[in-house]
């Protein structure tokens, strides 16, 4: 489902309006004409916020594919910038800085020319618009997708953990924050519900973007799977299995018996066992998950399956011999896939 549509272009960059902006306009119009005016100004401010990202990108000769405008910020889809952390944080911070500068200028105008806000007797227009920009800049510094702060955090984590892990962690933070805001909004204020929905949608879309680029580049499971396979047997103790997992850098255990695939023991299931019991507990006593993929399967579908099952390792089997594991896909494999996708574009 597409959540945004094109409304024009600036500097040759397509501008798209996210559907949450339209929903916000309609909801606010029902409750307040003055806040409807503020949301119209918000559209202008968000556009300027996002154009600041684009101007910095042009300064570094980076192509901006398009801009999507959200009610509390936007998303500039900038080519390959996620793999250049030193540039991504510069481009990301430009938006909040622009909002703060606009806000300070409007605060100054309010002191010089105090203008009474329309449809109200107690508000000042420039003051409210200034506050709107400061809130826009501050909110976008929250370190979670799809806000700019999430991109700054991803730039930092990408240098430490790689792009795939960095995107996963910041997207997870964004979705967790969204659910908390929605829950609080049910009790406190419907605005928080709208903002929470926006954050959840944006974080989910951002999480899948690198994987979608892999899919579009026709990189399949067989192109990225590791041929080095570390397995455990049903007779192994849990501690013995953990040693194998740590050496192989697996987060889950791949179980085989006599060369035949038996299933996966998920990391979350292992954590349920107390450390002092792990010498006496056998692998056969833990629940097995019969999850596999085939060499030609879509990376996007594999990624979704791993996310749904909450696992970080996926065995690859031949279609005509599903008991024989021929490779393994891990988070590291997905990072390598993204690199291959870039080289194909």
Beta carbons of 77 and 122 less than 8 angstroms apart: no
Beta carbons of 344 and 332 less than 8 angstroms apart: no
Cα 300-305-307 angle, rounded to 5 deg: 95
The single residue of 50, 88, 205, 256 carrying the catalytic annotation is 50
- Residue 50 bears catalytic tag: yes
DSSP 8-state symbol, 32: -
What burial class does residue 99 get, using C-beta atoms within 10 Å of its C-beta: 0-12 exposed, 13-18 middle, 19+ buried? buried
How far is the C-alpha of 337 from the C-alpha of 201, rounded, in Å? 24
**Residue 247 φ/ψ, nearest 5 degrees:** -65, -40
Tokens of 221: 């499971």
How far is the C-alpha of 134 from the C-alpha of 63, rounded, in Å? 28
User: Omega into 322 within 30° of 0, i.e. cis?
Assistant: no
**Residue 285 φ/ψ, nearest 5 degrees:** -90, -5
How far is the C-alpha of 273 from the C-alpha of 55, rounded, in Å? 53
Tokens of 233: 């047997």
Beta carbons of 146 and 205 less than 8 angstroms apart: yes
Residue positions annotated with a catalytic role = 50
């Amino acid at each position: 489902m597409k959540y945004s549509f094109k409304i024009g272009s600036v500097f040759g960059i397509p501008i798209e309006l996210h559907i949450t902006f339209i929903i916000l306009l309609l909801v606010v119009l029902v409750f307040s004409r003055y806040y409807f005016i503020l949301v119209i100004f918000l559209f202008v401010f968000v556009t300027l916020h996002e154009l600041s990202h684009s101007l910095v990108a042009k300064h570094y000769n980076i192509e901006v594919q398009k801009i999507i405008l959200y009610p509390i910020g936007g998303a500039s889809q900038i080519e390959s910038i996620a793999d250049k952390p030193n540039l991504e944080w510069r481009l990301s911070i430009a938006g909040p800085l622009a909002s703060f500068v606009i806000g300070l200028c409007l605060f100054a105008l309010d002191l010089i020319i105090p203008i009474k806000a329309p449809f109200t007797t107690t508000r000042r227009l420039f003051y409210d618009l200034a506050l709107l920009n400061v809130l826009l800049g501050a909110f976008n510094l929250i370190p979670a997708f799809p806000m700019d702060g999430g991109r700054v955090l991803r730039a930092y984590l990408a240098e430490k953990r790689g792009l795939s892990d960095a995107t996963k962690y910041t997207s997870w933070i964004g979705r967790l924050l969204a659910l908390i805001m929605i829950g609080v909004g049910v009790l406190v204020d419907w605005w928080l519900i709208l903002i929470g929905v926006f954050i959840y949608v944006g974080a989910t879309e951002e999480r899948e973007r690198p994987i979608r680029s892999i899919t579009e580049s026709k990189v399949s499971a067989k192109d990225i799977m590791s041929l080095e396979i570390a397995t455990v047997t049903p007779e192994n103790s849990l501690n013995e299995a953990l040693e194998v997992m740590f050496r192989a850098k697996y987060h889950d255990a791949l179980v085989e018996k006599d060369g035949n695939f038996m299933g996966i023991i998920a990391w979350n299931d292992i954590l349920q066992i107390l450390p002092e019991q792990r010498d006496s507990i056998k692998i056969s006593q833990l629940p097995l998950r019969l999850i596999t993929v085939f060499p030609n399967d879509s990376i996007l579908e594999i990624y979704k399956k791993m996310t749904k099952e909450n696992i970080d390792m996926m065995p690859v089997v031949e279609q005509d011999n599903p008991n024989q594991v021929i490779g393994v896909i891990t988070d590291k494999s997905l990072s390598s896939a993204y690199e291959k996708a870039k080289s194909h574009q």
